[in-house]
Amino acid sequence: MAERAPGRGGGDVSTTVDRPASVPAPAEPSRPGPVSWLTTTNHKHIGIMYCVTAFAFFLIGGALADLLRTELAEPGRQLLSNEAYNTTFTIHGTIMIFLFVAPFGAGLGNYLVPLQIGAPDMAFPRLNALSYWTFAGGGLLVLLSGFAAAGGGTATGWTAYPPLSESRLSPSIATDLWIFGLALVAMATLLTGINILTTVFLMRAPGMTMWRVPIFTWNMVVTSILGLVAFPPAVAAFGLLFLDRRVGGHAFDPLGGGDPVIYQHLFWFLGHPEVYILILPFFGVITEIIPVFARKPLFGYLGFVLATLAIGALSVGVWAHHMFTTGVVDNPFFSAMTFTIAVPTGVKFFNWIGTMWGGKIRLATPMLFTIGFLLNFLIGGVTGVLLASAPIDFQIADSYFLVSHFHYTMMGGAVFGIFAAIYFWYPKITGTMLRESLGRWVFYLLFFGFNLTFWPQFVLGLRGMPRRIVDYSSGLGFETPNLVSTIGAGVMTVAVLVFLADLWISRRHRIPAGDDPWGGSSLEWATTSPPPEHNFDAVPRIRSSRPAFDLHHPELEP
């Protein structure tokens, strides 16, 4: 039988937990007070903290984007100085990638992985807490680097290429703060990755073989491996950059025998897998959602696993497709590798369609966002194939075409996945429902606003508008698409406000959710909402990859 230590926070340091064999009465979930949030090691609380913090960064990054779009709505300079604009897009990019999408994925993984495999917590709970706080501290430093000190905010672009990011042209201490903050975020990612891998490999419930683990958890496994492999070179790049800047190094300084291209190799060795780290958790999210709302099993489980592994492994070999225009890398090698990644991604798309095929599809809000994901990500993916061709890349790289491509995958994909995840798992996490009516508004506004913002940016790129420019000349055909794009950004802002309203209303007027409001397949739906402290008072029998579904449909049991 499980033993509980007396009191919460303080008292005994640890609890020894045994797996329960029978079904005791469900325990009252504890409501943490403010100090408990600072000291908790419970994966569910840490997961929530990650997601909430990440979402707060999203709001900041989004506000910065609105500033950028407002400046670009018309030619000529209206709002921002050159320096301010350059800092704004630097921090916007850094926040969205490192402080929003990635940590949100980590938070979801933190919350869901132990539940989905039937474990009571992560393998290393205190390390988990350390990961979160390291991320929060690093994020704070990065935010400060946007407006710290007399030297001005860091304005190197999120890619921070030397020689621009060297101390001569970026003298402000802000860039060093940025480097330090990101190094902390990188450390947090590595620690979480170790935690997730250990948990999945060693703490599954009986009968939960690796081939029955939900695809979301598989995706978190591959994400974690990618993080472990890819982050160290970037930290090395940042470390060398710091040495160049402050300690008299010349790693990237041609006058001192160095080469700025080396930085690009090191940076993109992380940079490319990073975008897969960003998207894979959300591939997992929609792979969980579609079967539930189509009321069918997943189509091609093995295909999903193999495709995810292939995407992960291949993504490590494509990094220099970001360097096609440098003239100093082997373009055909990277072009070929990049084309190859299109294949497993395509397989996933067809498997998702196969999951919908023959179903009884209910278009509840999570499913709406999932469809949005599919429609948007396809455009992102196809334009990615265009970019994989080096000669085509000679025209569209570093233009607004590229900006639109990555926003279609990252925002049209990952962010839609984030909203899908929120609407899907909010009932499990809080025990209450979000409003379907408002959720639909959020979806339609966001989908319309998103496409209105970014479709014109393809046009801009093709017409010759480069990226990262504060201003553009009139008479080149850039005015109308920019204006339309800015209007779209406004619509997206409204969508986010409606979402915040939904959150607010749902917390004030609660509708109870029950254990399983959607008819879910994976284990988290077989426990209470919210789950008890150690997740399961009784783990059900596991005979397939959809244990909760089997529990409610014993007549179909394999």
Partner 1 sequence: MTTPAVRRALRALAVVAAAVGLAACSSSFGMPRGASEQGQDIFSLWHTFMIAGIVVGAIVYGLIGWSLIRYRRRRADDDEALGRQFHGHVPIEIVYTAIPIVIVIALFTMSLRTEQRVADLSPDPAVTLHAEAFAWGWRFTYEGQNVTVVSDPSGEGVTGPEIALPRGETVRVVLTSDDVIHAFWVPDFLFKRDAIPGHVNEFDVTPTDTGTYQGVCAEFCGLNHAYMTFRVAVMEPEVFERWLSARRAEEVAT
Partner 2 sequence: MRLFWALAAFFVGLGVVYWVLTYEWTGTVLLVVAGLMPLIVAGWATHAGSTRTSLPDDDPEGTPADGAGQELGEFPEATGWPVFIVLGIVLTGAALVYGLILLPAGIALLGWSLVGFIRESRH
Q: Based on the shown chain and the rule CB under 8 A, indicate whether residue 76 belongs to the binding site for partner 2.
A: no
Binding mask 218-257 for partner 1 (x = CB under 8 A): ------------------------------------xx--
Measured CA to CA, the distance from residue 52 to residue 100 in angstroms comes to: 10
Fill in the amino acid letter for 347: V
Q: Which of partner 1, partner 2, none is residue 309 near (CB under 5 to 8 Å by kind)?
A: partner 2
Q: Which of partner 2, partner 1, none is residue 242 near (CB under 5 to 8 Å by kind)?
A: none
Binding mask 331-360 for partner 1 (x = CB under 8 A): xx--xx--xx-xx--xx-xxx-xx-xxxxx
Q: Which of partner 2, partner 1, none is residue 161 near (CB under 5 to 8 Å by kind)?
A: partner 1
| 38, 52, 56, 169: which one binds partner 1 (CB under 8 A) | 169
Residue among 148 and 452 whose Cβ is closer to partner 2: 148
Q: Which of partner 1, partner 2, none is residue 397 near (CB under 5 to 8 Å by kind)?
A: partner 1
Q: Pick out residues in 267-286 that bind partner 2 (CB under 8 A).
A: 269
Contact criterion met (CB below 8 Å) for 303 and 218: no
Q: Pick out residues in 502-531 that bind partner 1 (CB under 8 A).
A: none
Q: How far is the CB of 180 from partner 2 (least distance, A)?
A: 5
Binding mask 455-474 for partner 1 (x = CB under 8 A): ---xx--xxx-xxxxxxxx-
Q: Pick out residues in 127-156 that bind partner 2 (CB under 8 A).
A: 129-130, 132-134, 136-137, 140-141, 144, 148-149
Q: Pick out residues in 330-349 that bind partner 2 (CB under 8 A).
A: 330, 333
Q: Based on the shown chain and the rule CB under 8 A, indicate whether residue 47 belongs to the binding site for partner 2.
A: no
Q: Pick out residues in 528-557 that bind partner 2 (CB under 8 A).
A: 534, 538-543
Contact criterion met (CB below 8 Å) for 530 and 431: yes
Residue among 71 and 550 whose Cβ is closer to partner 2: 550
Measured CA to CA, the distance from residue 240 to residue 233 in angstroms comes to: 10
CB contact set of 401 (below 8 Å; sequence gap of 6+): 383, 457, 458, 460, 461, 462
Measured CA to CA, the distance from residue 318 to residue 341 in angstroms comes to: 9
Contact criterion met (CB below 8 Å) for 117 and 52: no
CB contact set of 174 (below 8 Å; sequence gap of 6+): 144, 145, 146, 147, 148, 149, 151, 152, 153, 154
Residue among 160 and 491 whose Cβ is closer to partner 1: 160
Closest to 527 measured CA to CA, from 202, 36, 119: 119
Q: Pick out residues in 297-336 that bind partner 1 (CB under 8 A).
A: 297-303, 325-328, 331-332, 335-336
Residue among 143 and 496 whose Cβ is closer to partner 2: 143
Q: Which of partner 1, partner 2, none is residue 82 near (CB under 5 to 8 Å by kind)?
A: partner 1
Q: Based on the shown chain and the rule CB under 8 A, indicate whether residue 39 belongs to the binding site for partner 2.
A: yes
Q: Pick out residues in 474-533 that bind partner 2 (CB under 8 A).
A: none
Residue with tokens 């009968």: 207
Q: Pick out residues in 405-424 that bind partner 2 (CB under 8 A).
A: none
Residue with tokens 């495999």: 117
Select the span of 156-164, 326-334, 380-388, 432-440 touching partner 2 (CB under 8 A).
326-334
Closest to 339 measured CA to CA, from 298, 393, 285: 393
Q: Based on the shown chain and the rule CB under 8 A, indicate whether residue 184 belongs to the binding site for partner 2.
A: yes
Residue with tokens 């500033």: 67
Q: Pick out residues in 247-266 that bind partner 2 (CB under 8 A).
A: 261-262, 265-266
Measured CA to CA, the distance from residue 42 to residue 534 in angstroms comes to: 9
Q: Give bridge partners of residue 430 from the DSSP assignment.
A: none
DSSP 187-227: HHHHHHHHHHHHHHHH-PPTT--GGGS-HHHHHHHHHHHHH
Measured CA to CA, the distance from residue 84 to residue 68 in angstroms comes to: 10
Q: Based on the shown chain and the rule CB under 8 A, indicate whether residue 103 belongs to the binding site for partner 2.
A: no
Q: Based on the shown chain and the rule CB under 8 A, indicate whether residue 235 belongs to the binding site for partner 2.
A: no
CB contact set of 264 (below 8 Å; sequence gap of 6+): 161, 320, 322, 323, 326
Contact criterion met (CB below 8 Å) for 492 and 413: no
Contact criterion met (CB below 8 Å) for 381 and 413: no
DSSP secondary structure letter of residue 317:
T
Residue among 46 and 465 whose Cβ is closer to partner 2: 46
Residue among 23 and 255 whose Cβ is closer to partner 1: 255
Measured CA to CA, the distance from residue 141 to residue 137 in angstroms comes to: 6
DSSP 69-113: HHHHTSSS--S--HHHHHHHHHHHHHIIIIIIIHHHHHHHHHHHH
Measured CA to CA, the distance from residue 284 to residue 287 in angstroms comes to: 5
Contact criterion met (CB below 8 Å) for 302 and 279: no
Q: How far is the CB of 226 from partner 1 (least distance, A)?
A: 22
Q: Based on the shown chain and the rule CB under 8 A, indicate whether residue 25 belongs to the binding site for partner 2.
A: no
| 43, 69, 296, 407: which one binds partner 1 (CB under 8 A) | 296
Q: Which of partner 2, partner 1, none is residue 385 near (CB under 5 to 8 Å by kind)?
A: partner 1
| 27, 29, 41, 249: which one binds partner 2 (CB under 8 A) | 41
Q: Which of partner 1, partner 2, none is residue 386 near (CB under 5 to 8 Å by kind)?
A: partner 1
Q: How far is the CB of 151 from partner 1 (least distance, A)?
A: 14
Q: Based on the shown chain and the rule CB under 8 A, indicate whether residue 52 belongs to the binding site for partner 2.
A: no
Select the span of 32-40, 206-214, 235-243, 292-300 touching partner 1 (CB under 8 A).
292-300
Select the span of 33-41, 293-301, 408-416, 545-553 touching partner 2 (CB under 8 A).
33-41
Measured CA to CA, the distance from residue 230 to residue 242 in angstroms comes to: 19
Q: Pick out residues in 375-414 that bind partner 1 (CB under 8 A).
A: 375, 378-379, 382-383, 385-386, 388-392, 394-395, 397-399
Q: Pick out residues in 25-84 that bind partner 1 (CB under 8 A).
A: 76-77, 82-83
How far apart, in Å, are the Cα atoms of 154 and each of 63, 103, 138, 234, 250? 18, 22, 15, 18, 21
